[in-house]
A and B are shown apart, each in its own frame.
Chain A
C-alpha cells in the first residue's frame, strides 16, 4: 500500500546510531560513536544504490578497522546505510576475464586478511542485517561475534550459481557455526533463506525490527543477548569420519543436479570441506586456492558473464515504469499466467475472458504460484485481490497496458482490438503476446497503430525471465520505452526485437526441434536425441521440449516460419500433422512423443548397449541455433549480440555455462562453426547453410 506518512518519514526507518558528520574521513564508510561509547560503522558505498565488496572497499575497510583499534570503542556495530540491504556480495566484475589462478589467489588472500582482521578485533562486534546479505556480505557478518537480523532480511551464498563457492572464509565460518548438513546444502544450492529460518539455523542470534535495533545492539554488545553456539550435532558433523559419510551423500545429491565436468564448483566445495572441515586455518588457506582455481574455469567465467548479461538486460529495461493497471485478455495458459505474474509483482490486473472456467483455472494456478513464491498468507491474499476476474472486459477503461493473449488467429485478434480501442485510455499501450503473427499484419485495422507492441512471454512465465519486446516500424518511441520499463518493473528481462517471423527465440528454437523430428525419421531413439542435447547442457532435449510447448504450437510456428525461411528449416514430417490431428499434443494432453504423468515425461533408461550420442548429433541440434542468432543480428532484428545470448539463456534455458549460442560459437571458433556447418550441409542439405553474417561476426 502507498503510505504518504511512511514515505515522508522514510528516512527515519533505519536505525543508524548517531547522525554521522557530512565530511567523514572515509569514502565508503561512516564511523560514529554513541553515548555508550559504541562505534557505529555504517557501510555506504559511494555512487551505488547497493553495497558490494570491491578491492578498494576492502582496502578502506581495513583502514577503518585499524582506526577502530586505536580508538578502542566499547563495542562495534556494523550495518549498511543503504535501504536496499546489508551487502549484496563481492564485486565479481573484478575477476571477469581472469585466467591466472595465482593472481586471483593473491587478491583473495588480501581480502581474507581484512575479514580476519575484523574477526580478531578485541572488542565486542555485532552485525545488524536488513535486506539482502549475500555472499561476501554474509562472510563479513560471519566474522562478527554476533548477528542481529531485521525482519525481511535474506541470507545466502549464491556463489555456486556463478560456478564458484564462497571465497572470503564463508565455507569455513558457516560450516563451523551452522550444522554442515544445512550450511553445506545452502552453499551447494545457492538458495536464500529468510530471517526466521536464519534464526532457527543458528546463523543469527535474534530477529527483530528496526525500532528495537538500538536495544538489541546494546544487549548483544554487553553480553545480555544469548549467542547461538554451534551445537553438538554441528561439531559431530565436522568430525573426520562423519564428514566422509556426509560428503559422499552430498556428492550423489550434487550429481543429480549437474555433472562435475560442467559445474565443478559444488564438487570443489564438498572436497574442501571433506578434507579440511573442522580445522580452521587449513581450510581458510585451502578455500583461497580452491576459489582461485574455480574462478578461471570457463564455466565460472561464462556464468559470471551471464550474471552481467542479466544486469545489462535489467538496465536496458530502464526505470520509471508508469504501468499500474494491466488488463489481460484471454485467460488461457499464457494469458492467465501473465496476469498472475503481474499481480504477484504488485500491479492491479484485470483478467478478461468470455468464460468463467479458464479464469477460475488461472486463479487457481495463481494461488498455487503465490503459495510457493510469496508464502505469507496476507500477501498471497493481497496478490489474489489484485488479480481481478473480468468477465465483462470492464478493466480496459482504467488499464495503462492491455495485453492480448487470445488464440493465434489474425481476424480474432483484430476483432478484439476493434472492441478495445475505443475504450482505451488515451495514454494506454496495446500489447500482443503473439508468437507468430507479424505486428505489421495486426496493426492494419488499428486507429492508432503507433501504440501496438509485442510482449512475448515464455512458458512457464514464472520461471523463464525473458520477454521479447517486439516493435514495428510505425511505433511511438515513448511506447517502446514504457514497455521496456514495464518488463523491468515486473522483474522480467526484456529483449528489444523487431517484428519478424518467430522474432528471435522461436526462430532459433524451431530448427532445433524440427531437426530432432528429422532424426526421428532416421530412426534415432527419441531418448538418445534428448540425451544429445542434454549432454551439450540444455535443460531439456528437443523432443521433450516439443511435448512441453505443445506439438500443435510447434507445427503452427514451423509452418509460419517456413513461409518466410523456406528450406532453411528442416521439413516438417507429415506424421507430425497426423499426430496433432489425433490430439496427441504433448504435455497438455498427457501424450505426445512421451507419455506425461504429473507434468513429467515418462522416460525409460536408454539401453546400456546401443548407439551413443555423437558430436554430429549435437552439432545438428545446436549449431543452427547459433546460425539463426547470427542471421537475426545481420538482419537487424536484434542489435546486441550479448542480449541475444542472454535472451536464449533466460528464454529457453540454453546451457548457461556455455554463455549463450553466440558465445559458444565464439569460444569454439567461427571458422570451425562455419566449416562444420558446411560439412553438415553437404551431408544433410541446404538447411545447414551458414549465414553470411558469420563473415562479420566477432
Chain B
C-alpha cells in the first residue's frame, strides 16, 4: 500500500563561496542555521518528527553522523533517530528519497531530510608515506630507535594533499570531474562558446531571482558568532558575460579543453532541508503541502561520462509514468558543468543515443531552456556536493509554485558514474 508523500516546507542557507581557508560554518553549523528558522515556522513541535536524514559527503572529524548531531543541536529531542547518507553529489536527494520511501511504505509520517556540505573545511591530508613515517616514530622505543626513525623523514612525506582535489577525482578512471565533462562535451559536440554562454545565463538568472525576491522563504540568513551575517548566495556574478568568460583559461585540460572555472560549478558551503509528510501528518498538523513526490529513480553508468547521469536516471522514470521529456514543465538539472548540462540536453536530442541507450523510438527531443534551471544553478550558486540534490528539489517545488506548473523533475549527475532523478507534482 503506497501512501502519498508530500513536501510541506523547506529552507536552505545562502551558498557561501569558499574563499581562503575554512569558512565560518561546519557542516552541522550550516544545517542548524537553516534548520532553526524552518522548524520555528512549523505549527508542530520539533520532536514530532519520526526521523532526520541528512546527506553529507565530507563529514568532519568533530561531527561524525552529522544528522544526529544536527538533530540534537536543533533541539529535536534525545529520542529522535537520525542518520547520514552519502552518494556523492546525490546525497541531499538520497536523503529525500529515503524519507519518501519510509513514509510511502507507512513506516514514518514526518521526516526532516537535508543535505549539508562545507567544502571550505575539506582537510589537507598527509601523504600515506608521511603518516607511516610518523607512526614509525611514535612506536619506536628508546632514544636510538627514535632517532633512527626520525632520520627516515623525506621532504615529500610532509607535502600535504588537498583532500578536496582527491575527492573530485574518480578513483576508477583517475579522471577529475572536470575531465569527465570534457569527455561528455566531446561526445556530443559541445563548444566552449556554448558552455560560456550557458554559464553567463546561469548568473543572469540567479541575479534576477535574487533581485525579484524569488528566493525569499527559501534562503535563510545565516549568522556567525563574530557578528557577521550572510543573506544571499555570494558566488553570483551578474556582470559575467559570454565574452568575459571566454577569457578564462581551461582548468582541467590545458591548453585545448573547454571547461573553465567560469563555466563550472563553484566550490561552496551550504545546507538545505525539506520536510516530508504523509497525508496523515498533513491532516494531524493542518499542514499545507507544497507538492507531492510521485517517483524517483537512480541509475549508473560509465564513471568517465558521469555527467550523463540525469539522462540515464530521469528517462526511465518518465517512461514508467507514461511521460515524455516534453511533459515536464519545470526542470532542475544540477549544473555541475555547463558542458555537462549541454551534453545531457544534446543526448536527449541524439537519435542514436536515445535508440540504443535509452531504448526510445527516436530522439526524446529538445528541452526548452525556459523550463530548465529557471533561477540559475550550481554554476552561479555553487555546488556544496552533499547539499545540491536537496536544493534542486526544494527549489523545484518553490519554482513550480511560483510559475504555476504542474509537473517537474529534479535530477543530477553524480561523481563515480551515477544519476538521480525525482518526479514532483503540484498539489
Contacts and interface: CB of A to CB of B under 8 A. Distances in A.
A386 B75 CA distance: 8
Nearest to B225: A367
B45 A398 contact: yes
Interface in A362-396: 363-364, 366-367, 381-382, 384-386, 388-392, 394-395
B215 to A, nearest CB: 14
B43 interface: yes
Interface in A540-567: none
Contacts of A21: none
Given A4-B79, A385-B32, A391-B221, A364 B37 contact: no
Given A1-B72, A1-B78, A382-B73, A360 B223 contact: yes
Interface string B41-70: 101010000000000000000000000000
A258 interface: no
A392 B227 contact: no
B78 A2 contact: yes
B221 A356 contact: yes
A390 B227 CA distance: 15
State the majority secondary structure of interface residues on B.
Answer: loop
Contacts of B75: 348, 385-386
Nearest to B41: A394
Contact of B37 (A367, A388, A397): A388
Contacts of B74: 385
A363 B221 contact: no
B402 interface: no
Q: Which of B43, B74, B75, B78 has the most A CB atoms < 10 Å from its CB?
A: B75
A363 B224 CA distance: 8
B243 interface: no
A397 B43 contact: yes
B229 A398 contact: no
B228 interface: yes
A361 B73 CA distance: 22
A13 to B, nearest CB: 17
Interface in A328-371: 348, 350, 356-357, 359-361, 363-364, 366-367
Interface residues of A, number: 29
Contact of B40 (A367, A382, A390): A390
A4 B77 CA distance: 10
B79 A390 contact: no
A359 B224 CA distance: 10
A394 B40 contact: yes
A367 B72 CA distance: 20
Contacts of A386: 75
B225 A389 contact: no
Nearest to A2: B78
Nearest to A367: B225
B231 interface: yes
A388 B36 contact: yes
Interface residues of B, number: 24
Contacts of A392: 37, 41
Given A397-B43, A398-B40, A3 B78 contact: yes
Contacts of B72: 1
Contacts of B228: 360
Given A397-B41, A397-B43, A360 B227 contact: yes
A382 B32 CA distance: 11
A111 B223 CA distance: 56
A2 B75 CA distance: 10
Contacts of A388: 36-37, 40
A391 B40 CA distance: 11
A400 to B, nearest CB: 12
Contacts of A360: 223-224, 227-229
A382 B221 CA distance: 19
B356 interface: no
Contacts of B361: none
B226 interface: yes
A397 B43 CA distance: 7
A359 B37 contact: no
Contacts of B226: 364, 367
A3 B79 CA distance: 9
B229 A359 contact: yes
Nearest to B74: A385
Contact of B225 (A1, A350, A384, A391): A384
29 contacts: A4-B78, A350-B40, A356-B231, A359-B223, A359-B229, A360-B223, A360-B228, A360-B229, A363-B224, A364-B225, A364-B227, A367-B225, A384-B225, A385-B36, A385-B73, A385-B74, A386-B75, A388-B40, A389-B37, A389-B229, A390-B37, A390-B40, A391-B221, A392-B37, A394-B37, A395-B40, A397-B40, A398-B40, A398-B45
A356 B78 contact: no
Contact of B223 (A363, A395, A397, A398): A363
A4 B78 CA distance: 8
Interface in A118-142: none
Nearest to B231: A356
A341 to B, nearest CB: 16
Across the A-B interface, the 3 shortest Cβ-Cβ residue pairs:
A364-B227, A367-B225, A394-B41
A52 B199 CA distance: 73
B216 to A, nearest CB: 9
B37 A356 contact: no
Nearest to B38: A394
Contacts of A398: 40, 45
B225 to A, nearest CB: 4
A92 B73 CA distance: 42
A389 B73 contact: no
A653 to B, nearest CB: 28
B125 to A, nearest CB: 25
Q: Which of A357, A384, A385, A386 has the most B CB atoms < 10 Å from its CB?
A: A385
B257 to A, nearest CB: 41
Given A1-B72, A389-B229, 7 more contacts: A357-B229, A359-B223, A359-B229, A360-B229, A363-B225, A385-B73, A385-B74
B221 A389 contact: yes
A643 to B, nearest CB: 35
Interface string B356-376: 000000000000000000000
Interface in A1-44: 1-4
A54 B221 CA distance: 56
Nearest to B26: A381
A389 B38 CA distance: 12
Contacts of A350: 40
B41 A389 contact: no
Contacts of A357: 229
Q: Which of B45, B73, B227, B231 has the most A CB atoms < 10 Å from its CB?
A: B227
Interface string A448-461: 00000000000000
A404 to B, nearest CB: 18
Contacts of A359: 223, 229
A388 B221 CA distance: 11
B26 to A, nearest CB: 10
A367 B226 CA distance: 7
Nearest to A365: B227
A374 to B, nearest CB: 13
B227 A363 contact: yes
A363 B37 CA distance: 15
Contacts of A366: 225
A168 to B, nearest CB: 43
A366 B225 CA distance: 8
Q: Which of B45, B225, B228 has the most A CB atoms < 10 Å from its CB?
A: B225
A641 B240 CA distance: 72
Contacts of A356: 221, 223, 229, 231
Contacts of B229: 356-357, 359-360, 389
A405 B77 CA distance: 30
A264 to B, nearest CB: 44
Nearest to A1: B78
A1 B228 CA distance: 28
A395 B45 CA distance: 12
Contacts of B78: 1-4
Interface in A44-70: none
